[in-house]
Amino acid sequence: MVRSLAQWTKTLSFPARISPHKTNAAPPPTCEGVFRNAPVASHEEIYPDPDSEKAIMGSIVYCIHHKEGCKWSDELRKLKAHLNTCKHDAVPCTNKCGAQIPRVLMEDHLKYTCPQRRARCEFCGKDFTGQTLEAHVGSCSFEPIYCENKCGMKVQRRHLTQHKAAECSKRLVPCRYCSKEFVADTLQTHHTKCGRFPVACPNRCETAILAREELDLHLKEKCSSLGMSCAFKEAGCRFKGNRYALEKHLDENTKQHLVLMCSVVTKQQHQITSLKSALSRLSLNYSGTLIWKINDYASKLAEAKTKEGMELVSPPFYTSQYGYKLQASLFLNGNGAGEGSHISVYIKILPGEYDALLRWPFSHSVSFSLFDQSPVPEKACNIVESFIPDPTWKNFQRPSKEPDSLGFGFPRFVSHEMLKKRHFIKDDVMFIRVKVDPSKIVAV
Ligand SMILES: [Zn+2]
Ligand SMILES: [Zn+2]
Ligand SMILES: [Zn+2]
Ligand SMILES: [Zn+2]
Ligand SMILES: [Zn+2]
Ligand SMILES: [Zn+2]
Ligand SMILES: [Zn+2]
């Protein structure tokens, strides 16, 4: 770059120590002073002759950038050459941004201020020119910025919407129970007061969960565990209370409850007994005919032979549904006249349910049959004995509560000899039929 002398002589200064006017007491003149005070003159007037021009060009001057810190000082004629390298002299930006920049500042300019410099966004890492970066900063989607809700969080610009909608502790969220809106970080506190917040009934009734604001009314009027009865209510305990009171009551009244239970058990035993007798009444035989099966004949006979008066008794039976109650008895080793040689059979009249309505004395014919269990039924020959009661006999009067031990019958029904013949005893079993017939007046 070429400059005219006028351009830089304005700021020229001459060091005092090497001034050509050393003898002059006045401060060293500057070129500025020299030229400013001079009248407007032609080139010839300024440089009247080559000698004086030579003298001026040989004068010692400072660099025009002396004030900025350049220490250069030499003859005026060398100034132009110096300025081509002076680090304080301005040159056009090498990036062609158009600015004039002192050489010494060029590096900084290129790096930091030149609008044409290459620059990288520190947030997104993309490349820009200095100029476009300035516009980019402030809108870069990767730049962390403070949340506008003042939650204290810094979030990348691109995540801000999502943060405010879903994460920000200062965002508004509706309470899931009452639907009113609250700042997110106060929701927890709100839940401790929210009227619609679900709570459990402290009485642990079956209404397990209800809204907090409904609890009072529930406890006062609706809670089903109010006035619950003691588990031993059926046994006679009259206690009522809520669940807690009930638990306490049960703990403290074990003995009383046990006493109640004992009386329940006793009552039930009576019921069982009466049920049993009702059941046996139902299974009673009301047909007037008893087929009596005697098992284990041999061992029972052996026992009868050693035990005097051993009597087998049949199940009781009725002559009809509302008739006389009878029972047969059997002495395998005989009784009375048949003792030791015969089997004896008798019939006894037992006190029955309908005795008050029946005719007395008992006057139906009674027959006893010993079955021949022959494998050929046609050849079977049963032994039958029967009688018509004698009305004068005491045995046939209405029985008292404690009937006679003996009835009426046949002490010599079948002899032991006869029993061995035929098939009266088969497989150690004997069958005797007792038949009461109200229509027959003649014994068969
Ligand atoms: Zn310089
Ligand atoms: Zn530049
Ligand atoms: Zn960026
Ligand atoms: Zn936030
Ligand atoms: Zn709520
Ligand atoms: Zn409740
Ligand atoms: Zn109780």
Residue 224 CA, ligand 6 centroid: distance in Å: 6
Predicted pLDDT of residue 280: 79
Please check whether residue 365 lies inside any domain of the structure: yes
Return the number of other C-beta atoms located less than 10 Å from residue 238's C-beta: 8
Name residues with Cβ closer than 5 Å to ligand 7, which is an ion. 230, 232, 237, 239
Predicted pLDDT of residue 192: 93
Please check whether residue 39 lies inside any domain of the structure: yes
Cα–Cα distance between 154 and 144 in angstroms, integer? Answer: 6
CB-facing half-sphere around the CA of 410: CA atoms within 13 A: 19
The ranges of the chain with pLDDT < 70 are 1-48, 401-406, 440-444
Q: How many domains does the chain have?
A: 2
Range of the domain at 65: 5-88
> Dihedral of CA 103/108/109/110: which sign?
positive
Given phi > 0 = left and psi -120 to 50 = alpha, else beta, which region is 147? beta
Ligand nearest to the CA of 219: 6
Among residues 370, 382, 381, which one has the least CA distance to residue 342?
Answer: 370
Instruction: Supply the Cα-derived Rg of the chain in whole angstroms.
Output: 71
Q: State the virtual CA torsion across 81, 84, 90, 96 in degrees, nearest 10.
A: 150
Please check whether residue 94 lies inside any domain of the structure: no
| 184 DSSP 8-state letter | G
Ligand nearest to the CA of 132: 3
Please check whether residue 277 lies inside any domain of the structure: no
Tokens of 287: 């047909």
Domain boundary among 88, 116, 146: 88
Cα–Cα distance between 439 and 444 in angstroms, integer? Answer: 12
Cα–Cα distance between 81 and 77 in angstroms, integer? Answer: 8
Q: What is the pTM of this model?
A: 0.41
Please check whether residue 309 lies inside any domain of the structure: yes
Residue 105 CA, ligand 2 centroid: distance in Å: 11
CATH of residue 298's domain is: 2.60.210.10
Instruction: Look at the block and give the residue holding tokens 């003996």.
Output: 406
Please check whether residue 330 lies inside any domain of the structure: yes
Residue 148 CA, ligand 3 centroid: distance in Å: 20
Domain boundary among 88, 103, 125: 88
Domain boundary among 34, 64, 88: 88
Predicted pLDDT of residue 47: 55
Ligand nearest to the CA of 125: 3
Predicted pLDDT of residue 48: 60
Please check whether residue 42 lies inside any domain of the structure: yes
Residue 204 CA, ligand 6 centroid: distance in Å: 6
Cα–Cα distance between 293 and 177 in angstroms, integer? Answer: 82
Residue 15 CA, ligand 1 centroid: distance in Å: 14
